[in-house]
Amino acid sequence: MDGDYQGPQALGAMGAHIAGDRRRLRNLHPAQRRHYCPKGSLTRDCPAERPLVTCTARHEEYCSMPQVDPDLFDRGQFQAELALKASPIAAFKKAIRRARDVLDERFRSGRDIRRLIEDRAWFVDNILQKAWDQFEWSEDADIALLAVGGYGRGELHPYSDIDLLILLDSDDHEVFREPIERFLTLLWDIGLEVGQSVRSVNECAEEGRADLTVITNLMESRTIAGPEHLRQRMLEVTSTEHMWPSKEFFLAKHAEQKKRHHKYNDTEYNLEPNVKGSPGGLRDIQTILWVARRQYGTLNLHALAGEGFLLGSENALLASSQEFLWKVRYALHMLAGRSEDRLLFDYQVRIAGLLGYEDNDAKLAIERFMQKYYRVVMSIAELSDLIIQHFEEVILSDDSGTAQPINSRFQLHDGYIEATHPHVFKRTPFAMIEIFVLMAQHPEIKGVRADTIRLLREHRHLINDEFRNDIRNTSLFIELFKCEIGIHRNLRRMNRYGILGLYLPEFGHIVGQMQHDLFHIYTVDAHTLNLIKHLRKLQYTEVSEKFPLASKIMGRLPKPELIYLAGLYHDIGKGRGGDHSELGAIDAQAFGTRHHLPAWDTRLIVWLVSNHLVMSTTAQRKDLSDPQVIHDFAQFVGDEVHLDYLYVLTVADINATNPTLWNSWRASLLRQLYTETKRALRRGLENPVDREEQIRRTQTAALDILVRNGTDPDDVEQLWSALGDDYFLRHTAGDVAWHSDAILQQPADGGPLVLIKETTQREFEGGTQIFIYAPDQHDFFAVTVAAMDQLNLNIHDARIITSSSKFTLDTYIVLDHEGGSIGNNPERIQDIREGLTEALRNPDDYPTIIKRRVPRQLKHFAFAPQVTIHNDAQRPVTVLELLAPDRPGLLARIGKIFLEFDLSLQNAKIATLGERVEDVFFITDANNHPLSDPQLCRQLQDAIVKQLSVNSEQGSDLRISI
């Protein structure tokens, strides 16, 4: 069952029996059960010790279990302790505690993991036999105790469920009801976590026929106590002759596997993978063995190799991979103190240490451990694909179709591509690249036949420097990127079959390479292939609706293969230490040379790899309302072609890094940067926009809107005379008119004015703009951001203006916690307006620091805050850049510090990337001058670090340039 323990009830295969099932034992809830108390015949000496069940042909896979291990369980000593005590419970508990300590110590000392989990199963066998012997069962009683499921395989991890079947000959359970109930109560009292069912042989057949999980559990069974003939009868009535023939069983198990993989996003590379259920996990190996047992009657890898379905090397790889995952699972259980198969952040660092991984100059111990984990599960997934494909061909195919030739090297067989003879890859090694190009050119091909996958595995060692420089291979590889469809699918196949990392060794280095943060939720290779997938999807109608600009640009790129190649190399330099963009650019240059790309193509790919982060950094950290920022970026990209490629790569990169990073405001910022840069390029870099000209244009357009709506121009001029130039630079003419009209209509004593609207009508873009006009007060920013935090609003941009008449005009761009704008939701808008108004009217009653629990995942990524302070070269402000762990109420804490230091906030750019924030604040002193005192900057930095550090003793990085 391997599910959560549900108490000492008589359970079916997957849980407690439903009420009304008269054939089952019920009413054994812990509150209702009787405490075990031995009496009468149960206090007598136990009968002669029963030996463990003798191995038969059916049991041969479990014969490695020990027969005697007195350090783990001394039968004589245990028997003596039973005889001395009035109740056996204490003796059982003592034995269980001792065994757990012994096994855990053996694990820490490096004992063979296969032996460890078999030793634990052997120990439980003994305990269950002793518990069974505490009760009166007649010698000819037709009742037996069976181990099923994982325990039936002879595999037990520290807190795995102990799955039991109490098997009866008769459908009438009443004759054994009392001893069974007392036996199960004893198991509960001594602390064994068991999952149990009570069935007759006939009921096993009935339920096995109806439930795939039941038949799977019954296939893996051993007799612990009682007559073996009952199990043999059960196996007979549940055999393929009576139910679940191998074809039906395979189809059901394959569908079950696909459903399970989908649950884990069809990737081996989840940040917190499930060691058992994720793709490439232990369950995939078990699925292979279940299908093999149903088809061939064998249940171990060695026997599969004997049947010719596994090569010796494949058997060894699967066995070693299984043992690695067993070690991880054992450590998980031991550290969690419970059954736990999720490799949570809580345990990853400690497991890395338990398994002997250490930090080095390039990688943390946890990154080295997780790379090993990901490579292991990838190997399992590769072999699982091969074997499942082989099963499908053997079990499902009627082999009636004739092969259709594709060329002299490949043919189509039942929809799958296969080599025409076993020496194809030896005689023509370039076919190891060609096969993937053919599948991209012929999308009707379902996949690769098992024998051909095996041939690829057997011959991939031929991929050496000579192979990599062969013009046939380099030409074929570039041809793949020119295919209209199938690029991502076949690159993924190349990666799965180990071809891509051998052909591009620099790619091989990033396979399974994780980064220990919440920003990058995939390994580097998985992220890279996801990026290429996203680029391809931009051409789909359903995706183009969400990314209209990127889709439009993607469709007009002169050489789309170049964006795919840039995507392939953009992160390839990670995991080596140093700047990955620079390292990747060097690799991209070598790639272009080796593949004989035109010089312009290579230069573009290298430029994109080297600068793939620049556009997102500019959009998220610079003030896009500043004409100088736009001019500098336009000068950087140089022309519209480079701008187009960089924009599309940036959109795909963000979405492939972490889907939660892409939100409507980030989309709007990138569109704004792209549009303004394109306008600057078309105007000519020699004709930059003048600040004064932009202010005049904004004022003229805004005044025209206001006059057309009946506003007195003199009132407008009087209002605007108190506003500085920055206000008109940072807002559009439409926003200026909207603000001005509302302010002029606001009664003199009307309190804070709060306006709310969407920034754009484009679906999937923009955010919600909140404009606040009120008399300035010292704690205005701190109170406002604290109130927004309580209203569950995420601030992404803040523009703070103080007029000469001592009024503040603050504009915030906010999103909800799901990354979307507020939208047309009158009730929500009213709640926000009332909440902000109340907070600003009564700031003394409003808490500026909101205390909430830090989410579990964030706790494992604490690092010292980093603060950079420097004065802006073009504007009279000081720039404070903050990199810190995310935590509830962070902006409110920053606002409180600004208040304490008597600082004015002019502008803020807010970005949350996984577990960290990367915020930029533009500040001045109380007189609206940049900061000039290094000592004051040091004090400001110390205050921020102390406030934001999880541990105030942590060091921090500070750079001050005044």
> What is the structure's pLDDT at 406?
96
**261 and 232: one domain?**
no
For residues 137 and 205, membership in a common domain is answered with yes
- State which residues form the domain around 214: 11-242
The band of 698, judged by pLDDT with boundaries at 50, 70 and 90, is very high
Specify the CATH number for the domain of residue 484.
1.10.110
State whether 462 and 575 are in the same domain: no
One domain for residues 38 and 156 = yes
The residue whose two tokens read 């399992």 is: 380
Q: Give the CA angle between residues 491, 281, 151 to the nearest 5°.
A: 160
What whole-number distance in Å separates Cα of residue 663 and Cα of residue 486?
Answer: 28
Sheet holding 410-413, edge to edge: 404-405, 410-413, 416-419, 447-448
Provide the CB-side half-sphere exposure for 622 (13 A, CA).
Answer: 20
Look at 44-53, 141-150, 580-589 and tell me which has the smallest mean pLDDT: 44-53
Q: What are phi and psi of 23, to 5 degrees?
A: -85, 0
Of the listed ranges 464-473, 845-854, 875-884, the least confidently predicted one is 845-854
**Residue 497 counted as domain residue:** no
- Does 702 have pLDDT greater than 70? yes
Contact 554, 547 (CB under 8 A): no
Q: Does residue 952 register a pLDDT over 60? A: no
844 has a pLDDT exceeding 90 = no
| pLDDT score for 12 | 35
Residue 1 lies in a domain: no
What amino acid is encoded at 418 in this protein?
Answer: E
Question: If pLDDT is split at 50, 70 and 90, which confidence band does 519 have?
Answer: low
pLDDT, one tens digit per residue, over 767-825 is: 899 999 998 887 788 889 888 988 889 888 888 888 888 889 999 999 887 777 888 88
Distances (CA, A) of 165 to 143, 152, 208: 10, 10, 13
φ, ψ for residue 869, nearest 5 deg: -125, 125
What pLDDT does 929 receive?
92
- Segment 589-598 shows an average pLDDT of 98
Share of the chain above pLDDT 90, in %: 60
pLDDT at residue 456 is higher than 90: yes
**Mean per-residue pLDDT, 206-222:** 94
Q: What is the pLDDT of the chain when averaged over all its residues?
A: 86
Contact 149, 197 (CB under 8 A): no
Report the pLDDT value the prediction gives residue 657, as an integer from 0 to 100.
85
Per-residue pLDDT, averaged over 443-447, amounts to: 94
C-alpha angle 453-454-456 in degrees, rounded to nearest 5 = 65
Does the structure show a pLDDT above 50 at 3?
no
Checking if the pLDDT of 32 tops 70, the result is: no
Specify whether 473 is located in the same domain as 386: no
CA–CA distance, 479 with 487 (Å, rounded to integer): 10
The pLDDT assigned to 909 comes to 85
Instruction: Identify the domain boundary among 735, 767, 797.
Output: 735
- What pLDDT, on a 0 to 100 scale, did the predictor assign at position 857? 53
Check whether 26 has a pLDDT greater than 90: no
Domain assignment present for 356: yes
Q: Is residue 637 part of a domain?
A: yes
DSSP 101-112: HHHHHHHHTT--
Give the Å distances, CA to CA, from 179 to 133, 184, 343: 11, 9, 40
DSSP string computed for 219-230: HSEEEEES-THH
Taking 70 as the threshold, does the pLDDT of residue 735 lie above it? Answer: yes
Rounded CA separation 393/413 (Å) = 10
Q: What is the 3-state secondary structure (H, E, C) of 780-846?
A: HHHHHHHHHHHCCCEEEEEEEEECCCCEEEEEEEEECCCCCCCCCCHHHHHHHHHHHHHHHHCHHHC
Q: Are both 584 and 557 inside the same structural domain?
A: yes
Q: What is the pLDDT of residue 578?
A: 86
Backbone angles phi, psi at 952, to 5 degrees: -65, -10
Instruction: Give yes or no: residues 573 and 584 share one domain.
Output: yes
pTM across the whole model: 0.81
What distance in Å separates the CA atoms of residue 853 and residue 941, rounded to the nearest whole number? Answer: 25
Task: State residue 901's pLDDT score.
Answer: 93
Q: Is 754 within the bounds of a domain?
A: yes
In a domain, 858, yes or no: yes
For residue 3, being part of any structural domain is answered with no
Tell me the mean pLDDT in the region 489-494: 96
- Closest Cα partner for 146 from 134, 158, 163? 163
Same-domain pairing of 375 and 408: no
Nearest residue to 591 via CA among 610, 566, 613? 566
Domain for residue 498, yes or no? no
**CB-CB contact of 873 with 882 (8 Å):** no
φ, ψ of residue 66 to 5 degrees: the values are -65, 155
If one compares 431 and 665, the residue with the highest pLDDT of the two is: 431
Residue 612, pLDDT > 80, answer yes
Predicted local confidence at residue 848, as pLDDT: 54
At 7, give phi and psi (nearest 5°): 90, 175
The predicted structure's pLDDT at residue 859: 57
Considering the domain architecture, whether residues 158 and 41 belong to the same structural domain is answered as: yes
What's the CA gap between 631 and 633, in Å, rounded?
Answer: 5
In this prediction, residues 244-248 reach a mean pLDDT of 92
Rg over alpha carbons for the chain, rounded to the nearest Å, is 34
Predicted confidence (pLDDT) per residue in 186-205, tens digit = 999 999 989 999 999 999 99
CB of 326 within 8 A of CB of 320?
Answer: no
682 and 700 inside one domain: no
Mean pLDDT confidence for 486-515: 94
Q: Name residue 193's amino acid.
A: E
Give me the pLDDT at residue 25, please. Answer: 36
Distance (Å, rounded) from C-alpha 568 to C-alpha 494?
13
Region of poorest pLDDT, from 398-402, 457-461, 752-756:
398-402
Q: How confident is the model at residue 608 (pLDDT cuts 50, 70, 90)?
A: very high
Count CB-CB contacts under 10 A for residue 663: 23
Return the biggest CA–CA distance within the chain: 109
Is pLDDT larger for residue 637 or for residue 24? 637
Work out the average pLDDT over 278-306: 87
pLDDT at 376: 96
Kindly give, in sequence order, each residue whose CB lies less than 8 Å from that of residue 436, ignoring residues fewer than 6 positions away: 480, 490, 491, 493, 494, 499
For the four alpha carbons of 37, 40, 46 and 48, in that order, the dihedral sign comes to: negative
- Cα–Cα distances (Å) from 500 to 505, 507, 587, 782, in that order, read 8, 7, 15, 53
Which domain CATH number covers 341?
1.20.120.330
CB atoms within 10 A of CB 217: 26
Sign of CA dihedral 117, 120, 124, 130: positive
Residue 44, pLDDT above cutoff 90: no
Least confident span in 142-151, 273-282, 829-838, 868-877: 868-877
| Strand-pair category, 194-200 with 447-448 | unpaired
Q: Same structural domain for residues 221 and 76?
A: yes
Element (H, E) at 209: helix 201-210
Q: Which two tokens stand for residue 718?
A: 């009087």
188 and 210 assigned to the same domain: yes
Domain C-terminal end among 357, 374, 396: 396
pLDDT score recorded for residue 852: 56
Residue 36, CB-side half-sphere exposure with 13 Å CA sphere: 26
Note the pLDDT tens digit of each residue in 81-98: 888 877 899 999 999 999
Q: Hey, what are 442's tokens?
A: 């012929």
Instruction: Quote the CA–CA distance of 679 and 674 in Å, as a whole number.
Output: 9
806: left (phi over 0), alpha (psi -120 to 50) or beta: left
pLDDT value at 950 more than 80: no
Name the band, by pLDDT with cuts 50, 70 and 90, for residue 174: confident
Q: How many domains does the chain contain in total?
A: 6
pLDDT band at 621 (very low <50, low <70, confident <90, very high): confident
Confidence (pLDDT) at 536: 93
CB atoms within 10 A of CB 316: 13
Q: How far is residue 58's CA from residue 219's CA, in Å, rounded to a whole number?
A: 10
Beta-strand ranges (E) seen in 121-227 are 143-148, 162-168, 194-200, 221-225
Give the end of a domain, one of 654, 689, 724.
689
The CB density around residue 172, as the number of other CB atoms within 10 Å, is 11
Q: What angle do CA 702, 707, 711 make, to 5 degrees?
A: 105
Residue 626's nearest CA partner among 920, 903, 883, 931 is 920
